[in-house]
Each structure stands twice: as C-alpha cells, then as structure tokens.
Amino acid sequence: MASHPHSREPSAPAHAVYDPVCGMNLAGMGDLREKEHGGTSYYFCGDGCFERFEDEPERFLGVPLIKLRNISKRYVAGVVEAPVLRGLDLNIWEGDFVAVIGASGSGKSTLLNMLGLLDLPTSGDIFYKGKNIALLKEDERAAFRSTTFGFVFQQYNLIPWLTAYENALVPLIFAGRREQERELAGRFREVGLGERTHHRPFELSGGEQQRVALARALANDPSVILGDEPTGNLDSATGHLILEKLIGLNRERGKTLIIVTHDSSIAEQANEIITIQDGRTLRDHHIHKKRFTGA
Ligand SMILES: Nc1ncnc2c1ncn2[C@@H]1O[C@H](COP(=O)(O)OP(=O)(O)O)[C@@H](O)[C@H]1O
Ligand SMILES: [Mg+2]
C-alpha cells in the first residue's frame, strides 16, 4: 500500500493509491478525504469509507475477504466488443452485506460471477483472503468455489425431476460431502421449508422454489452468499420473506452477503451500496453505518 507520510495535499495523489476500505484506485481523483493513522496518511473516495476507517482502522488495514484488482472483462462474440468491466477495483470485507446496483447491462452479473469465481476476468487479479485464485488449477477452483460460495439467482435453476430435498443434495454430492447430508433438514428448516421437501419443483410455488434454491446454496455451509436479483421473479411479499432469510444469514450467522438488485428497498438495508457504471464502481458509495455488529 502506498503511503504519503509527508503529504499535506488533500488533492489527488499522483500515482496509484487505493482506498483501504473499498479498494478503489484513487489516482487522478480530486476531493479525497484523508486520514492519518500510525504515521501514515490514507486517502478515501468519500465520507462513507472515511468514516468506516475511522471506526475500525485495524480491520481495514487487514486483509479483505475478496479483493479485485484492475479487473477487465471482455466477452468476445464474433466481433471484439468493448469490455464490460474496465479496470475495476473492489474490496469485500468479511461479514458485510453489499448491494450491487447499476443500469441493466452495466455488468452487475458479470461482477458477481467474478466474485464467486464462476467466471474469470480477461485481465486483473482476484484475491481471496490474500491468495491469488488465478494460481489455482481449474479443479481446485471448482472445489474451492463449491465450498466457499452459495449462489442464488433470479431463476431458481432447480432440476425438475428431482425433489426439493434431492436438489439441495446435489452440491454435497459434487463436493464429495455426502456425509453432511444429515445437516440438510436443518437447512430446510432454516429457510422456512421444513415440509414439502419431497415435492418436485412444479408442485411448489415460486417462493417455495426459491427457498429450495436457498437451501441448496447453504448445503455446503458457504461463508459467502451471492444473490443475483434473488427476489426478481417473486411478488413483493414473497420476495420480502426471501430477503429476510438472506439478511438473517448475514446478521445472525455472519455470512458475507452480496446481492445484485434493482430494488432500492433491498439496497437500503445493505451496509454498502456499490454502483457499477462504465465498467467500474462509482466513488463515494452510500454506506450505512448502522450494521456491522460482528458475527
Ligand atoms: N456470456 C456472454 N457473452 C457475451 N456477452 C455477454 C455475456 N454475458 C454478458 N454479456 C454482455 O455483457 C454486458 C453486461 O452483462 P451483465 O453483466 O449481465 O449485466 P447486468 O447484470 O448489469 O444487467 C451486457 O451487454 C451483456 O449483453
Ligand atoms: Mg444481471
């Protein structure tokens, strides 16, 4: 991390310097906030990151759970197109609830897929607890992904010929953890679907199907839950119930929660709102201080 012990200039640093909280590259930006800590000056993209750092400097001088550095992602479909992500930098801290918002097509799903290692960037680095995951082999990455991340999508993506219970069993089989099966009933109770686990998806409502998807996401007891518009197909009352479950996993079980959403009422409950625009995060994100009580 770059430091500027003698700088008295609150304006833009000349070379790469990262906001220790959100991880943004602040080079070339004006109007930064500055804070001296332990003889070093740190710079922040806005009030939210500045205040979080003031509250818990040691936490934010530690190692982020996930760190994206200079991430670019370009999809090649016949002709070469403009990259979706362009030099994006982002830190995710353990136990946070982060909402990702942005216009349709701005790259929110692309970002979430990078965070969950479902896809790799065209260039740039992804660190998980300080370890560069690009150095993992394909099968190691798959094993790491299946035990670290739980995914919930707008589409429930259940296998139609399997029962609810069998659907949630699939990740345990893939991870070679069939012995964890005895935990599954507890997962179903946790998501509010203690009954009806022997029904097939077509016999379940949308809300029930999303609870099955959530039980499946929790099967391997992941530390990070990633939701891509998880309430997008549900009526607002049902969506609200699913959201409560997700937020409960964050607040009561300490799981890091990252949700892509169009719904401002969801984003309002997060303790950090990341906006994607022009392939990067916007600075000065909206941060709610009311949470982080620790796990
Ligand atoms: N697999 C893919 N192949 C080609 N283009 C893609 C692919 N996935 C996404 N894109 C394009 O990348 C852009 C960002 O997509 P996405 O991340 O899904 O945006 P969002 O989730 O914000 O709506 C869109 O223009 C989309 O069409
Ligand atoms: Mg999307």
**CATH code: domain of residue 225:** 3.40.50.300
Average pLDDT for residues 68-76, to the nearest whole number? 93
CA distance 167 to 160: 9
The pick from 109, 229, 262 for probing ligand 1's pocket by mutation, whose C-beta has the most ligand atoms within 8 angstroms, reads 109
pLDDT at 213: 96
Return the residue whose CA atom lies nearest to atom 16 of ligand 1.
107
Report the number of distinct structural domains present in the chain. 1
pLDDT at 289: 59
**Confidence band of 276 (pLDDT split at 50, 70, 90):** very high
Residue 23, in any domain of the structure: no
**Confidence band of 15 (pLDDT split at 50, 70, 90):** low
**Confidence band of 266 (pLDDT split at 50, 70, 90):** confident
Q: Is the pTM of this model over 0.85?
A: yes
Closest-lying ligand 1 atom to the alpha carbon of residue 228: 21
pLDDT at 171: 92
DSSP state of 25: B
For residue 85, which ligand has an atom nearest its CA? 1
pLDDT at 1: 46
The pick from 84, 85, 104 for probing ligand 1's pocket by mutation, whose C-beta has the most ligand atoms within 8 angstroms, reads 84
Centre of ligand 1 from the C-alpha of residue 106, in Å: 8
244: Cβ–Cβ under 8 A, 6 or more apart, which residues? none
Give CA torsion, residues 14, 19, 23, 24, to 10 deg: -50
How much is the mean pLDDT over the chain? 90
Given a cut of 60, whether residue 67 has pLDDT beyond it is yes
**Closest Cα to residue 198, out of 230, 168, 170?**
168
For residue 229, which ligand has an atom nearest its CA? 2
Average pLDDT for residues 23-45, to the nearest whole number? 94
Residue 63, in any domain of the structure: no
Is the minimum distance from the CB of 210 to ligand 1 under 6 angstroms?
no
1: Cβ–Cβ under 8 A, 6 or more apart, which residues? 17, 18, 20
pLDDT at 292: 46
Residue 14, in any domain of the structure: no
CA distance 215 to 176: 17
Residue 83, in any domain of the structure: no
Given a cut of 70, whether residue 111 has pLDDT beyond it is yes
CA distance 247 to 256: 10
End-to-end CA distance of the chain: 28
Centre of ligand 2 from the C-alpha of residue 91, in Å: 20
- Domain membership of residue 233 as a residue range: 94-126+137-287
Residue 57, in any domain of the structure: no
Centre of ligand 1 from the C-alpha of residue 258, in Å: 18
Given a cut of 70, whether residue 7 has pLDDT beyond it is no
Residue 276, in any domain of the structure: yes
Is the minimum distance from the CB of 108 to ligand 1 under 6 angstroms?
yes
Return the residue whose CA atom lies nearest to atom 27 of ligand 1.
105
Given a cut of 80, whether residue 280 has pLDDT beyond it is yes
Q: At what angle do helices 164-174 and 206-218 cross, to 10 degrees?
A: 20
CA distance 121 to 281: 16
Q: Who wins on pLDDT, 4 or 78?
A: 78
pLDDT at 174: 86
Average pLDDT for residues 144-153, to the nearest whole number? 94
Residue 280, in any domain of the structure: yes
pLDDT at 284: 81
Residue 51, in any domain of the structure: no
Lowest mean pLDDT among 107-116, 186-195, 217-226: 186-195
Lowest mean pLDDT among 4-13, 18-27, 60-69, 232-241: 4-13
Return the residue whose CA atom lies nearest to atom 5 of ligand 1.
75
**Confidence band of 8 (pLDDT split at 50, 70, 90):** very low
Give the chain's length. Answer: 295
User: What tens digit of pLDDT does each residue of 114-141 get?
Assistant: 999 999 999 999 999 999 998 899 999 9
